[in-house]
A and B are shown apart, each in its own frame.
Chain A
Amino acid sequence: MSRIALILGPDGGADRVVPPTGATARLTLLTSAAMAFLAVFALALSMAAGRVATTWADALARTATIRISAPAGEIGPQTEAVLRVLDQTPGVAAARALTDEEQRELLDPWFGSLPLDDLPIPRLVEVTGTAEGYDVEGLRQRLAAEAPGAVLDDHGRWRRPLVTAASRLRLLGGIALVLILGASAAMITLAADAALAANGQVIRTLRLVGARDGYIARAFVRRFTLRAVIGAAAGTLIGALAVMAMPGPGIGEGFLTGLRFRGAEWMLPLLVPVFAGAVAWLATGAAARRVLRGMR
């Protein structure tokens, strides 16, 4: 505890030899907080888009409907042919013809209680694929051969663009995340470089009174790493709270309600301050070595 106080305290530890830099310090804190906040959102967006894409793609692959329209007498045999084909198709978990009862329920909202028995209503077969899925084109061709009246509708026409959109969104979220992290790294590097260059005289004085390079570098590295980590931690915390404030799952499967992290995903934002700290560590160390190389 006292060790932490020593490191965190404004006057604690050897980094007292590093002059305080008021405005720069506050700007670094603020920027890394803002960047961390944005990073958390990009992360949440990317994860959510990924989840939606997977769920939709999954559903897309797994459910389909076969519609059999044929003259009244042929519906029965063709339905049987279709079920037979499905039974032999690898990747199909279940197939079931809807009963008249069920079909009537589906149609009721549209037609009211019409005497449907008299109309040539197509027969519907519900297909559920296994996790691996089945070969849609192959199935289509076999159906065409065995039951000319059967049409396979894999819902792809309306779902596929959505899956594509969700995948693109995930990609964009990922790119945004990379850009934000890259910009933060550049910002921290610039701040460290500027601070080290501005402190050339301090570094020279330390060197002349017998400070080793490691001692000097550590003093600056500690100051900057702490600053970046504290800023990023604050930004991450606020970002995580904001994400948590979004409505959770179960309130509808819409995209906006899925922005929250799920389970172990909550650990991911923790990587943001770790990343900021690592960048600050490396950048300040490199800047310190660069300045020290110019003096004996």
Chain B
Amino acid sequence: MGQDCATLTAVQDGVVIELSDAAYGFGGEPLFAGVGLTLGRGSFHFLTGPSGAGKTTLIRLCYADLLPTGGSVSIFGHRTDGMGRDEIAAARQRIGVVHQDCQFLDHLPLIDNIALPLTVSGRPVEPQMQNLHELLAWVGLGHRAEAHPPELSGGERQRAALARAVITDPDVILADEPTGNIDWDMSVRLLTLLAELNRMGKTVLLATHDLALIRAAKAQVSARVLRIAGGRLQLAGADL
């Protein structure tokens, strides 16, 4: 019921995630402050900035893993500091996240790990089998379906994490350095997947250091580039 209302709000005003005057600090000095950011429905944003500037932290605010220490963050029209635990879970079922330190359930084969967001939200996995295998093939892991996560390389884990993030057909995809350990050709391939999903109406926020990747993306999507540095978030100029 509440979830349907949230969808409606998001569609109506076109805002999926919104940070207003948001600040975050792990105790002591705030890492960043006064951050305003509106992720409209179907938008594509890159998030860049030096290591340690707070890209991961900002993304964690966007799936309510952290609450802002100042200002507010809203997901699907709900402020995260007012959301109950089940509401957070429900919101996460609509957000695909590629975490920087991709965590899996090591005792389950890859295919089950990628299906995990379906499993935990009570959606049947069987009808999605074809999708699962196509997705695995797309990220170049078709032959690794039965492998267990500890047997995968860093890059393979990142590709698997991306597959897991998109399996539920989420409204939003938050990807934190999804191409950190991946060669150029595969990075472009993943970017193509994200661009394709974006064309289908998904909202994408992608944190990366890789300026070449951002340039390559310009041919595929109209993306905005955000830069976080020195505690501020700014729209990066065209000088990239």
Binding site for B on A (CB under 8 A): 14, 16-17, 19-20, 201-202, 204-215, 292, 296
Nearest residue in B to A213 (C-beta to C-beta)?
A: B85
Residue numbers in A under 8 Å from B122 (CB-CB): 215
B residues 82-106 with Cβ under 8 Å of A?
85-86, 88-90, 92-93, 95, 97, 99, 103-106
Query: CA A213 – CA B89 in complex, angstroms?
Result: 8
The 8 Å CB contact of A210, one of B92, B103, B105, B112, is: B92
Nearest residue in B to A292 (C-beta to C-beta)?
A: B85
Q: Is the CB of A296 within 8 A of B88?
A: yes
Q: Is the CB of A208 within 8 A of B107?
A: no
Residue numbers in B under 8 Å from A213 (CB-CB): 85-86, 89
Contact with A along B25-59 (1 / 0, CB 8 A): 00000000000000000000000000000000000
The 8 Å CB contact of A296, one of B64, B97, B103, is: B64
Q: Is the CB of A17 within 8 A of B97?
A: no
Query: CA A205 – CA B85 in complex, angstroms?
Result: 15
Nearest residue in A to B122 (C-beta to C-beta)?
A: A215
Known contacts A205-B103, A296-B65; A17/B89 CB under 8 A: no
B93 to chain A, nearest CB (A): 4
Question: Is B116's beta carbon under 8 Å from chain A?
Answer: yes
Question: Is B186's beta carbon under 8 Å from chain A?
Answer: no
Residue with the highest number of chain B CB atoms closer than 10 Å, among A19, A209, A213, A214: A209
Nearest residue in B to A205 (C-beta to C-beta)?
A: B103
Nearest residue in B to A20 (C-beta to C-beta)?
A: B107
Q: List 26 A-B contacts (CB under 8 A).
A: A14-B120, A16-B108, A17-B105, A17-B120, A19-B105, A19-B107, A204-B103, A205-B104, A205-B105, A206-B116, A208-B63, A208-B92, A208-B97, A209-B116, A209-B120, A210-B168, A211-B89, A212-B86, A212-B120, A213-B86, A214-B86, A215-B120, A296-B64, A296-B65, A296-B66, A296-B88
Q: How many A-B residue pairs have CB under 8 A?
A: 65
Contact with A along B164-203 (1 / 0, CB 8 A): 1000100000000000000000000000000000000000
B96 to chain A, nearest CB (A): 9
Question: Is B121's beta carbon under 8 Å from chain A?
Answer: yes
Residue numbers in B under 8 Å from A212 (CB-CB): 85-86, 89-90, 120
Residue numbers in B under 8 Å from A211 (CB-CB): 89, 120-121
Query: CA A286 – CA B226 in complex, angstroms?
Result: 44
Question: Is B220's beta carbon under 8 Å from chain A?
Answer: no
Residue with the highest number of chain B CB atoms closer than 10 Å, among A19, A20, A296: A296
Residue with the highest number of chain B CB atoms closer than 10 Å, among A205, A210, A213: A210
Question: Is B222's beta carbon under 8 Å from chain A?
Answer: no
Query: CA A214 – CA B121 in complex, angstroms?
Result: 11
Question: Is B128's beta carbon under 8 Å from chain A?
Answer: no
Query: CA A122 – CA B17 in complex, angstroms?
Result: 106
A215 to chain B, nearest CB (A): 6
Nearest residue in B to A202 (C-beta to C-beta)?
A: B105
Query: CA A208 – CA B98 in complex, angstroms?
Result: 10
